[in-house]
Structure 1
Amino acid sequence: MKMLAGKTAVVTGGAGGMGRAHALRLAALGADVAILDIDLAMASKFGEQLTAASVQEELEALQVRAIGIEADLSVENEVRQAVDRISKKFGRIDILVNNAGGAITKIDQSSAVNTSGEDRAVLFAANFDTTVNMCQACSPHLMQRGGAIVNISTIGAFADDLEGRLAMYGAAKAAVEKYSKSLAVELGPYNVRVNCIAPGLIETPRIKALAPSRNLATGHQARTIPLRRLGQIEDVVGVMEFLVSDQAAYVTGESIKVAGGHTLVTT
């Protein structure tokens, strides 16, 4: 029997890239899966090739039930409506993977000094607000049977490059890290585990498409990482699988860096 059979997983930012990979892995493990995204056609924007007409259909091809919901997860009411739809369709929520977000503002205008108030609001809405809204909406369901929350952070919450780029993105994810620890304490008595994954330079379709213009996730940077390579989506997905499984039954309030040792060295 597949280890997640009979369970329901929710993945935000699930219409492409790393979120799609998380959703597919959860479905392969037997879970019914709901994907939430601000744009369910997100994969096509970065040339990602699907194996079916939609991610929902890819999931259903793995012999599980699935639903795709388009919503702005920084808006609390849209989140509540989406979670209500998921609950009514599947009758339960056991796993939440908060993957939505990213460093979505201009990298040359994202330092601690020059990030505008508008960009700061965008980054916190996409990364922190989406996480909090989803955790708050899903927690009552998770508390009924126990379960797992995995919030995707970044190594930028722990370290900066020499130019201090992406400072506000890192700050938003640092807020996710602290919120996750507080949530782990609150939900622990209900057997709900809350952990973070802090990826480094991962070659998602979006990162690969933007790497030249951002000078980020380049071959030169790969050579400065102790493992001498950029991360792959499967590197992160494997850690997610561990954290939602019974193998991590006594792990909560932690953050696992998936970065090839990137934060161990200075460049």
Structure 2
Amino acid sequence: MSLTALVTGAGGGIGLATVVRLAADGVDVIATDVKPQSPELPAGVRYVPFDLLKGDPAVLLGNLDGRPLDYLVNAAGLALFDRDGSVLDTDEAVWTATLGVNLHALRHLTVAAVPLLRQGRGRSIVNVASTAGLRGMDSPLDAYQVSKAAVVSLSQSLALQLGPEGIRCNTVCPGAILTPMIEPLYQENPDRRTNMEQRTPLRRLGLPEDIANAIAFLLSEQASFITATDLVVDGGWIAQIR
């Protein structure tokens, strides 16, 4: 019997790339997002439109039809670039929305999924955080940064608590990745993209597939002795700002 994964944020970007990678690896994937289903979704993947902020996680997990869960990938994320900024003057609604999606929805789903992960064979959680949760940014996006730092901290705590049961929990921390969420900013300001490429030691932006490959590794048995780890995938960018 194939392993089963649940991937959030699967309507595009990193989440969709992760679904594509896991499906290619023979994993039975349930994909979910508040967005409409992408035409790039592989055949055989079950897509469940779902609002992580408003929906009951038990309803989403009911799509497993009683099967155990092997892998959980929390890839759903929100960054309100046009409204987020310094904590000193950012609107409260930005904090509520950003932490709601990036932290609280992740927490609710993970707590609901743990009993099913206990029954599974893969027993692995990967949460998508960000280098912004590990280091500061040139221009503050405080709600986003705080939410991702909290994901890193929560993931480490879960790893320590669930490790004795054989359940691993890690984060992937992407750097500058060319996702649908960030691409409009580069289209509006091509110099911003060029600057980011030049600041990255590998001299390019990352692709969603780069992060999907890292996620697939951390989920797999090849990473069976890795937990409580933050895997940075950023082309070397973070090494310059320590």
Q: TM-score, normalised by structure 1?
A: 0.84
CA distance in 1, matches of 2:206, 2:138: 21
- What does residue range 92-107 of structure 1 map to in structure 2 within 5 Å? 92-103=68-79, 105-107=80-82
Aligned residues: 241
On the 8 A contact 2:84/2:142 being kept in 1, the answer is no
User: Which residue, 128, 132, 136 being the options, matches 2:107?
Assistant: 132
Q: TM-score, normalised by structure 2?
A: 0.92
Partner of 1:112: 87
Please report the RMSD computed on the Cα atoms of aligned residues, expressed in angstroms. 2.0
Greater relative contact order (Cα 8 A, min sep 6): structure 1 or 2?
2
Check if 1:70 corresponds to 2:49. yes
User: Which residue, 132, 135, 147 being the options, matches 1:156?
Assistant: 132
Check if 1:86 corresponds to 2:61. no
On the 8 A contact 1:153/1:176 being kept in 2, the answer is yes
CA-to-aligned-CA distance 1:60-110 (integer Å, 9 cap, x gap):
1xxxxx3211111123x522111122243xx1210000000131x243542
Which residue type is aligned with residue 183 of structure 1? L
Partner of 1:241: 216
Q: 1:133 to 1:107 in 2, by over 3 A?
A: same
Unaligned runs of 5+ in 2: none
Which residue type is aligned with residue 98 of structure 2? L
Q: 1:87 to 1:194 in 2, by over 3 A?
A: farther
CA-to-aligned-CA distance 1:5-51 (integer Å, 9 cap, x gap):
6110000011222111101111111111101111224x4xxxxxx35
Q: 1:257 to 1:217 in 2, by over 3 A?
A: farther
Unaligned runs of 5+ in 1: 44-49, 61-65
Sequence identity percentage: 31
User: Which residue, 24, 36, 49 being the options, matches 2:32?
Assistant: 36
